[in-house]
Structure 1
Amino acid sequence: MHNDFPAWLRIEHWLNVLFVTLLIRSGIEILGTHPKLYWRDHSRLGTEWARFTRKTMPKDKLYDTLDEEEDYSPIVSLPGHKKIGIGRHWHFFTVVGWLLLGISYVILLFATGQWRRYLPTSWDIFPAAWHDLVTYDRFQLPPMMPGQPFDALQKLTYAGVIFVLAPFQILTGLAQAPALEARFPWFVQMWGGRQAARSLHYLGLLAFVVFTAGHLMMITFWGWPRLNALMIFGSARDLTLAFWLSLAIIAAIVAVHVAVTVWSLRSPRSVQRRLGAFNGVVKRLLLRPCRSRQDYPVSAISPQHRVNGKPPDCDAYKIMAVHDFANWELRVGGLVENPVTLTLADIRALRGKQTQCVLHNCVQGWSSVGKWGGLPLRDLVELVRPLPEARYICFLTMQENRRDEPSAPGVGGGQFYEVIDLELAYYPQVLLAYEMNGEPLPIKHGAPLRLRLETQVGFKMAKWIEQIEFVADYSKIGMGMGGWREDNAYFDKDVEI
């Protein structure tokens, strides 16, 4: 094994720096929307093991999780300033690039024999690595391994990052995808639950940061000019030129970060459209086929289900609530053969009630387990018989957005709405819920009727529904992005992850 690094390895090394730093910054933006970490799926207030906020929530009035969001600086997060929708676009766009880069890296490692540079071929490396650690502790440099540009401890560290830490981050990230959690509940439980996976994912991020700091320190100890030249030219030559070229590469990486941050803050709609188009194709191919198969035991039900979105405050809603929604009506129409108007009693009388005990995933990161009961959406679809041109279902609600929903510049209130693809209505465990945990649906969780769509994150599950429309196109509804959060907070319409 020669000390020289092949060209493909050097190129992918610098691309990896770009991808990992983008992932870290966009990950911090996502963390900021619910800056607390838990080990249990209940995400119960006060049980967090780590918090990155100084906010304290009031005990004498209703608040929702939007009130808990933090506004992080663009210096540390991408793009910063409470733009989780844009942060999600960058995180998922970058992770696809990082994953493809990693796959090509591993393939080339084994195709070219470079894997011997990183993977141990003898158990002797472990006592040698311990000896190296003791040597470093004495502020001395251990010997290099024969024919290799680093010592035994460094080799084990690189092997751990490439073949353990990187896959660990990918798997714990996937364990937070509602579509995969719904289709393969055992997968998320393998990590100890959804919140445990989220916490482990964060610890993995810290491990990358620690590795990067240690990596730079080792380069300094062993001789920055020579090792830097190895990663620029593949051999220890033209040390001065290599130094300046490395600074130029680092400057280019910083410039990319500045450019995408400025673009994201100045033209978030442009970022949403372009990155969302790419991410949407990937999600439809890999995650859309997932059908929910959850069946949590009743003992797993969370003692407290957090609130997202404040209930309607108008007099009409309050009067209906006082009378147990006896006068509430659901209007279902649009591109259908049989438009109907249904009372809550009518909905309860339609066929048999379906119940499901499932894991709820909020886009902000918290979760809980609840038992929901109601009408399968497919039964309503069969009742109204959509016309051939109908492709989407629009849920219109009584929620007043000016009270708590994030808005785009210059936008005030408006009726909260969400759009889903018609095909999702036929998936199992897609429910118009009027019960929660064996009781009538609470007001704070969407009474009298809310949507349950277990393969997507919580904001798609419209609450306080009053009207359902079947449409051929949603581009003329609101700002045309597929929902209130999509219009005003730049989320993607399909949120299986």
Structure 2
Amino acid sequence: MTAFSRWIPSSRPAQFILAAGALLVIAAVVVLAARGLTTYAPIQDFLQTYPGSYALPDFAPVGIPTWIGWQHFFSAFLMVLIIRSGWQVRTERRPAAFWASRWAKGTPRKISLTLWFHQSLDILWLVNGVIFVVLLFVTAQWVRIVPTSWSVFPNAISALLQYLTLQWPTEDGWVNYNSLQQLSYFITVFVAAPLAVVTGVRMSAIWPKNAKRLSAAYPIEVARAIHFPVMLYFVFFIVVHVALVFATGALRNLNHMYGGSDEVNWWGFAIFFVSLAVMVGVWFAARPVILAPIASLFGNVSSR
């Protein structure tokens, strides 16, 4: 039976096809249900009252400055690698190498080279995030992603309903995001990111070993239970974000973020393509043979 089973086609492709088909059916049902819902007069009145966004305060800046484009690239670059290395840390059974600080007192604690890479990326991501938040409030760009009106919630529901009907809400990201975008950006920057930091610190080598009361008050199991779902949130956010960028006017959206203008041309797309190539290149280059020499500059690398 064992020899014969080698000739039996794997059921995984069939399962994948069935799962994809089921998702398409569910998506079609959701779209039809959303469109049917918008035929009712109360829903139409709701959509008219709350078109999907509200007016920003008068001091709100217009346009997206160049520094946000650079911050966007660095955040995406680091987050992709953080997700990759974080998944490797979670699934790795036999690390190829280990790292230990050469400045630690007593017997240095060894961690896998993958975990060192993950935590180093976390530090860079945190520094980049702090700079981003500071610049947001210094330049008043914060008003674009921090809700300033309670109407953000009904407008977000309206925007979601419009997305589900595949009739995109009327928007101008150069001036103002729709309320669903604003809430998602706010949650990502001011909720998910801090959660990733505080849980990551608890799980890292930075956490003091002898702080028994502090460790008891904040068990590592709690941090682990939160950290992984937060990573899944970032994966979901990235997938949906990129999909909507391309589905709702790719050239203009990419020009907003990468080209620094409201024009519709290929300049932003070209910069995005180069940044994507950099991400892919580093993704494949981040291997022990490349990481070990870099890690050795900050500590001792060994095979065990």
The residue that corresponds to 1:299 in the other structure is: none
Q: Percent identity?
A: 26
What is the root-mean-square deviation in Å for CA atoms of aligned residues?
2.5
Check conservation: 2:252, 2:264, Cα contact below 8 A. Answer: no
Match of 1:167 in 2: 194
Name the amino acid aligned to 1:99. L
Task: State whether residues 157 and 180 of structure 2, in contact with CA within 8 Å, keep that contact through their aligned partners in structure 1.
Answer: yes
Please name the residue that 1:142 is paired with.
169
Q: Displacement of 1:3 after TM fit?
A: 4.5
Describe how 1:282-297 pairs up with structure 2 within 5 A: none
The answer for the alignment partner of 2:293 in structure 1 is 270
What's 1:381 paired with?
none
Determine if contact 1:135/1:141 at 8 Å carries over to the other structure: yes
2:204 paired with 1:177:
yes
> Which residue does the alignment assign to 2:303?
488
Distance in 1 between residues matched to 2:162 and 2:136, nearest whole Å: 30
Deviation at residue 94 of structure 1 after TM alignment: 1.1
- Displacement of 1:254 after TM fit? 1.6
Equivalent runs, 1:258-337 vs 2, <5 Å: 258-261=284-287, 264=288, 266=289, 269-274=292-297, 276-277=298-299
Q: Which of residues 62, 67, 70 is equivalent to 1:11?
A: 70
Number of equivalenced pairs: 231
Deviations 1:48-69 (A, max 9, x none): xxxxxxxxxxxxxxxxxxxxx2
Q: Verify: 1:210 aligned to 2:236, yes or no.
A: yes
CA distance 1:190–1:252, shift in 2 (3 Å) = same
Q: Distance in 1 between matches of 2:235 and 2:137?
A: 27
Contact 1:173–1:197 (Cα < 8 Å) also in 2 = yes
| Aligned twin of 2:247 | 221
Instruction: Provide the residue aligned with 1:241 in structure 2.
Output: 267
**Matched letter for residue 238 of structure 2:** T
Name the CA distance, whole Å, in 2 between partners of 1:232 and 1:185: 47
Of 106, 120, 143, 1:93 maps to 120
Alignment partners' CA distance in 2, 1:135 and 1:188: 46
Corresponding position of 2:84: 25
Counterpart-to-counterpart distance in 1, 2:199 and 2:267 = 41
Map of 1:43-54 to 2, 5 A cutoff? none
Indicate the structure whose relative CO is greater, using CA pairs within 8 Å and at least 6 residues apart. 2
Q: Flag the structure with higher strand content.
A: 1
Query: In 2, distance between residues paired with 1:98 and 1:140?
Result: 35
After superposition, the Cα gap between the structure-2 partners of 1:200 and 1:181, relative to the gap in structure 1 and judged at 3 Å, is: farther
Asked if 2 retains the 8 angstrom alpha-carbon contact of 1:119 and 1:155, the reply is yes
Higher share in helix: 2
1:106 aligned onto 2:120: no
Mapped contact 1:3–1:235 kept (Cα < 8 A): no
**Contact 1:172 / 1:200 at 8 angstroms: preserved in 2?**
yes
Instruction: Tell me the CA shift for residue 216 of structure 1.
Output: 0.9
CA distance in 2, matches of 1:104, 1:244: 26
After TM superposition, the score normalised by the length of structure 1 is 0.43
Distance 1:172 1:183, change over 3 A: same
Cα offset, 1:196, TM superposition: 2.5
**Which residue of structure 2 lines up, in the alignment, with residue 198 of structure 1?**
224
1:124–1:183: structure 2 CA closer, same or farther, 3 Å change rule? farther
3-state secondary structure, aligned to 2:123? helix
Runs ≥4 residues deviating over 6 A: none
How far apart, in 2, do the equivalents of 1:100 and 1:197 lie? 21
TM-score where L is the length of structure 2 = 0.69
Q: Which residue of 2 aligns with 1:120?
A: 147
Residue by residue, what CA displacement relative to the aligned partner does 1:140-174 show, whole Å, maximum 9, x if unpaired? 22233797342101100000000110010000111
Q: Shift in Å at residue 186 of structure 1?
A: 5.5
Given that 2:63 and 2:175 are in contact with CA atoms closer than 8 Å, whether structure 1 keeps it comes out as: no
CA-to-partner distance for each residue in 1:430-473, whole Å, 9 max, x for gaps? xxxxxxxxxxxxxxxxxxxxxxxxxxxxxxxxxxxxxxxxxxxx
Structure label with greater radius of gyration: 1
- Note the C-alpha offset of 1:115: 0.3
In structure 1, the partner of 2:283 is 257
Alpha-carbon displacement from aligned partner over 1:252-308 (angstroms, at most 9, x marks no partner): 2222223332xx2x356423312x34xxxxxxxxxxxxxxxxxxxxxxxxxxxxxxx
